Structure 1
């Protein structure tokens, strides 16, 4: 398989309709990078991050940061494929809650999604916006498929919120949501799915405030992020920068309203240690094994 074939698969969103389709692509990508990269570059400042550099057919493009502690190898991904499926089918069992299986949930999904993102990084610079849109759309769809697989009713779409003046409905405001979790057609929770919180975190907090104020409800709002790192530096000295804004997060949490869950696959160290952050931010396995069930019960 050549890079052109990999890119063609990654840019065809219609092919990603099932969890198995995401896994199929991931397997092909991991097989491709095993022998077809120009180089694997180690981050200068956080050495567990890697950057893949493509050869001439990819104009020597360098990918986004890849966390080597999370990214599974070809052999590990392939050997754990059935186990991942079994975990999803029996997510509430005691065995699914083991540390090993929790890590597999996060690593497997991270590997699938970063395979797509890294493949799209091979596109020319003038198609970076297209690549970003495809990557974001496919991540949203992937998370919806996973939530559906564990038995939760979830969709995306618009919610029309009536705005009343003096007790009468004056008009409706349409809210577009990535995840709408329902039980018996009643909205139980609303979620946002983004590859990064960069330039997005403010809106998620404000959306919760406005939605609950307009509907006079206390509907839980949560957010799921892939990571919050980006490449920095020049050739020969690449490193990573964090894109998470802890001050904004803390300010909105304290002064506006806290979110009802924030989940990462590649969680930053300060999210585990800093006050306020450590109380509100968790890894994604916590959402799938425990928190989402609290929303629907």
Structure 2
């Protein structure tokens, strides 16, 4: 793919969003075919593969990104007393310098709280303002029974707004399948974007 700045036509942006969403949904559909007793394993595999997929996309546009643990030194009275280890899905680097930290999840359900708190704690402990972002596939889940299936939204609007206003906003949140209220509701529309914005513009801003 290479550096895609300058090729950000609406058509190319749509291709990026649709390709990633469709490919990952195909993976999820294949894992859905596993026996019911292995459903928890399938969900874990699906999440792991999505993380790998996004890392490959970022690497392919020419950005250095890894997963792993960051050791955070904690100072007391100006001296390093001990260290805390933080595991992250995405560590965007320029050389060996950490430029941004990201979380990649198939949905925000049961995870959104931790992502906001991780940013608060990391920057508090390191006395930095390292950008933290999140990438989600979608925020819907299946409901009903065979022949009568529907979908439920799993996005916790109140939690997202509360943490954004009262704790700290994330440095943008990205969805491959953005929900309608995310482009109409105040606070949500200011902090949530479609995934194409990340690869065409925002990741390069993090690297500046």
Same fold (TM over 0.5): yes
Structure 1 gap segments, 5+ residues each: 1-87
Which one of 8, 16, 21 corresponds to residue 110 of structure 1? Answer: 21
How far residue 236 of structure 1 moved from its aligned partner, in angstroms, is: 2.4
Moved over 3 A (4+): none
Equivalent residue of 1:274, what SS?
coil
* Alpha-carbon distance between aligned partners in 1 of 2:29 and 2:164, rounded to the nearest angstrom: 33
Matched, 1:89 2:2: yes
Matched, 1:197 2:108: yes
Structure 2 gap segments, 5+ residues each: none
- CA gap of 1:90–1:214, structure 2 versus 1, over 3 A, is closer
Task: Quote the residue 1:153 is aligned against.
Answer: 64
Q: State whether residues 3 and 62 of structure 2, in contact with CA within 8 Å, keep that contact through their aligned partners in structure 1.
A: no
Q: State whether residues 140 and 152 of structure 2, in contact with CA within 8 Å, keep that contact through their aligned partners in structure 1.
A: yes
Q: Work out the number of aligned pairs and report it.
A: 208
Structure with the larger RCO, 1 or 2 (CA within 8 Å, 6+ apart): 2
Larger radius of gyration: 1
* Alpha-carbon distance between aligned partners in 2 of 1:123 and 1:170, rounded to the nearest angstrom: 48
Equivalent residue of 2:178, what SS?
coil
Which one of 67, 88, 102 corresponds to residue 177 of structure 1? Answer: 88
User: When the two structures are superposed, what TM-score results if normalisation uses the length of structure 2?
Assistant: 0.98
Instruction: Write the deviation string for residues 91-124 of structure 1: whole angstroms up to 9, x where unpaired.
Output: 112xx21111100000001111111111000111
Task: Quote the residue 1:143 is aligned against.
Answer: 54
* Alpha-carbon distance between aligned partners in 2 of 1:150 and 1:90, rounded to the nearest angstrom: 5
Q: CA RMSD in A?
A: 0.8
* Alpha-carbon distance between aligned partners in 1 of 2:37 and 2:184, rounded to the nearest angstrom: 39
Which one of 159, 172, 188 corresponds to residue 261 of structure 1? Answer: 172
* Alpha-carbon distance between aligned partners in 2 of 1:265 and 1:112, rounded to the nearest angstrom: 11
* Alpha-carbon distance between aligned partners in 1 of 2:95 and 2:51, rounded to the nearest angstrom: 23
